[in-house]
Amino acid sequence: MSTAPPVPASAAWREGDPAGGRRFADVGALDLETGGHLPAVRVAYETWGELSPRRDNAVLVLHALTGDSHVTGPAGPGHPTAGWWSELVGPGRALDTDRWFVVAPNVLGGCQGTTGPASPAPDGRPWGSRFPYLTVRDQVAAEARLADALGVDAWAAVVGGSMGGMRAVEWAVTHPSRVQRLLAVATTARATADQIAWCAPQLAAIRADPGWRGGDYHDAPPGRGPHTGLGIARRIAHTTYRSAAELDARFGRAPQPGEEPLGGGGRFAVESYLDHHAEKLVRRFDAGSYVVLTESMDSHDVGRGRGGVAAALSRVRAATRVVAVDTDRLYPVHLSEEIATGVPGAPPLDLVSSAYGHDGFLIEVAALQKVTEELLALEPGSR
């Protein structure tokens, strides 16, 4: 019998929980791209290093779908997991915090301190189903407000992978004068039909869970949230994060030790692996945020209203490096190539060889260190 504590209806960070390294900026009301409105937005963020007197050394690091502001540092009160890019950020590392002032916000719509579905609405109850639809541009608008609050007129660099890379590219297109260097990793300038298709069953699984309650489950007792649906969504997503070759080499057709999958009700080892990642996520994330952020990724298209992707990318003025993972089946290499060839003066795509598929952007840190160091060595605006 499991001795694990009951899973809360939502694993979102709530007011009164340990803040850890979080800071908070109240950035005011925000009108949204599709006509919605948030009357008050709070952005949770973390920083490392010191902002220079000239305010010219700030680097913005943007997280992926289920990431958060805790880019580097150990797990502990307020931070259920260790930093997701710890080998890249810190003293003496590629993003050297003895030189650079590194800022990492939790995305708008997230669940780790920034305004999202689990946050209190003006009536004091969680937003839940009333939380408005967000686009990537809305998320960048909130981050621009954070930059204003920090006194950062221009980022020395904006760095992001996966969903964070979407926001990084949107930053460079929307605010070309505020982004001096751009590093876009394992990402795309536009969500494709294939990516939207992979997201669709994830959203359907969450919404079909009786614990979803139309999105208004945040005050339910432990064990009564949409955990099954969120877990299924994670299983689907995690399959796209890894390569077929890696899964086959790692697990093959082996049964989970002590279980018999052939008629015995047991599992294959790869099924147990997916179950493990599902269980981890439901204990640290919020299903409402998963829905909001997944829909925002579906919305992503830097060319919308700008004459297409090529016209939008031509607006970028930042010194740019684009990195792709050769085995990435979620954001295939040709999508990164579109960014690299579309940004004026950008060098050829940097292709990282990895067995791990999309997750290579989190794992192949040595290759990212080299590209990051080379980018930061460039003068602002140089190619």
Catalytic residue ranges? 162, 328, 358
What's the token pair of residue 378? 């460039």
Instruction: For residue 303, give both structure tokens.
Output: 């060319």
User: What sign has the CA pseudo-torsion 290, 117, 12, 2?
Assistant: negative
Distance CA 33, CA 243 (A): 35
Matching residue, tokens 């009786």: 210
- List the 58-62 sheet strands across, edge first: 23-31, 37-48, 101-105, 58-62, 157-161, 181-185, 319-325, 350-352
Given a contact cutoff of 8 angstroms between Cβ atoms, the answer to whether 225 and 9 are in contact is yes
Identify whether the C-beta of residue 383 lies closer than 8 Å to the C-beta of residue 345: yes
DSSP 8-state class, residue 118: T
Pairing of strands 319-325, 350-352: parallel
CB 55 within 8 Å of CB 100: no
Token pair for residue 319? Answer: 């010194």
Three-state secondary structure readout of 192-214: CHHHHHHHHHHHHHHHHCHHHHH
How far is 15 from 36, CA to CA, in rounded Å? 25
Instruction: Compute the radius of gyration of the chain from its Cα atoms.
Output: 20
What span, in angstroms and rounded, lies between the C-alpha atoms of 343 and 45? 29
What's the CA gap between 164 and 193, in Å, rounded? 19
CB burial readout 333-358, b (16+ within 10 A) else e = eebbebbbebbeebeebbebebbbbb
